[in-house]
Amino acid sequence: MSIAVLENPRLTLKVLLRNPASAFGLIIITLFIVWSIIEGSLQVVGTLTRHPSLGWVLLPYNPLAVNLMASNEPPSIHHLLGTNAEGQDILSRILYAAPIDASVSIVTVFSAIAIGGVLGMIAGYYGGWIDEVIGRVTDAFLSIPGLILLLALTILIGSGYFQSMIALIIVWWPIYARLSRAQTLEIKSRYFIDSARLSGLGDFLILIKHVFPNMIDPVLAYATLDFGNVILTYATLGFLGIGIKPPTPEWGEMVSAGLEELPGYWWTAIFPGLVITIVALSFALVGDGLQDILVGRINY
């Protein structure tokens, strides 16, 4: 039997925690989000009050300070994940960068759901020329490999934190337009939609009260997988030098800088890359668990 995720959040959580893989992913995601909220809030307050030191008050070291006397130190009791060529503590830089990657993934995915979800529902519900126009635009975006389109967009709008986020949203919304359209077409054929029309309910209310609630669960399950995909893609942009600019740390940029130190100073690239992998994998594990719940593959 399947579970309606939004209608049964406690039961959904209980089932996820019974699965070791989903439970592991859920724990990592919770730690990642909670830390990102706390650290991100401190960074914002520090910027607004002109006391940037608030941004690293919970960190072992100042992630931006250069200390050439501690350059490329291996993992030790003083620097658990070692230091980079500038003597900056890698653990502090990873923790400092977490809110950046978290905010990019959250804003990108939810913006893509808002844009693509609305367009997909409209296309699937009304059909005809509206569906044709939205479908052609969606196909045009999806026909271009995502990374190629991202690179082209960054050339047009520039590189940086906000520019990369806008580019990611532009690349991501067609996926949700296609998904929500497919869900809407299936829901539109059900009898309760005909009953709603016969009762005199308008199209807008039908979409809000009947189509959207039945469409959103599969979309959110897919979105959980997508958070990790966005983090991987944004890290790729950082790896290529597109994204937030140094000296502010970013996971992908840290991997890129660390590659220059391989194999001698392996920790400079391995640990940031490992963090990216673990976080992305955790979202994938939870997303798979939600998919299993929705289609009834997990008994509860």
Structure confidence at residue 102 (pLDDT): 93
Tell whether 121 is covered by a domain. Answer: yes
The total of structural domains in the chain comes to 1
Q: Which residue has the tokens 């479908």?
A: 135
Tell whether 79 is covered by a domain. Answer: no
pLDDT, average across residues 226-231: 90
Tell whether 115 is covered by a domain. Answer: yes
Tell whether 117 is covered by a domain. Answer: yes
Residue 295 has pLDDT above 80, yes or no: no
Tell whether 66 is covered by a domain. Answer: no
Q: Which of 210, 295, 253 is nearest to 96 (CA)?
A: 253
pLDDT, average across residues 176-188: 90
Listed range (30-39, 96-105, 237-246) with the worst mean pLDDT: 237-246
Structure confidence at residue 107 (pLDDT): 94
DSSP string, 159-211: SSHHHHHHHHHHHHHHHHHHHHHHHHHHHHTSHHHHHHHHTT--HHHHIIIII
Q: Which long-range contacts (CB under 8 A, 24 or more apart) does 8-14 make?
A: 11/300, 12/290, 12/293, 14/300
| Residues above pLDDT 70, as percent of the chain | 95
Residue 294 has pLDDT above 80, yes or no: no
Residue 188 has pLDDT above 90, yes or no: no
Tell whether 159 is covered by a domain. Answer: yes
Q: Which residue has the tokens 């990873």?
A: 94
Domain that holds residue 154: 9-58+88-295
Structure confidence at residue 35 (pLDDT): 95
Q: Which residue has the tokens 């658990």?
A: 80
Residue 4 has pLDDT above 60, yes or no: no
Does the pTM surpass 0.85? The reply is yes
Within 10 A of 83 (CB to CB), how many other CB atoms are there?
A: 26
Q: By CB neighbour count within 10 A (0-12 exposed, 13-18 middle, 19+ buried), where does 252 fall?
A: buried
Residue 154 has pLDDT above 50, yes or no: yes
- Contact residues for 134 (Cβ-Cβ < 8 A; gap 6+): 119, 120, 122, 123, 177, 181
Residue 278 has pLDDT above 90, yes or no: yes
Task: Give the up-direction half-sphere exposure of residue 273: CA atoms within 13 A in the CB hemisphere.
Answer: 12
Residue 298 has pLDDT above 90, yes or no: no
Residue 7 has pLDDT above 70, yes or no: no
**Average of per-residue pLDDT values in the chain:** 87
Q: Which domain CATH number covers 13?
A: 1.10.3720.10
- Contact residues for 287 (Cβ-Cβ < 8 A; gap 6+): 221, 222, 223, 224, 225, 226, 228
Tell whether 3 is covered by a domain. Answer: no
DSSP string, 93-134: HHHHHHHHHHHHHHHHHHHHHHHHHHHHHHHHHH-HHHHHHH
Please, are residues 206 and 72 in contact by the beta-carbon 8 Å criterion? Answer: no
Tell whether 210 is covered by a domain. Answer: yes
Listed range (50-54, 136-140, 156-160) with the worst mean pLDDT: 156-160
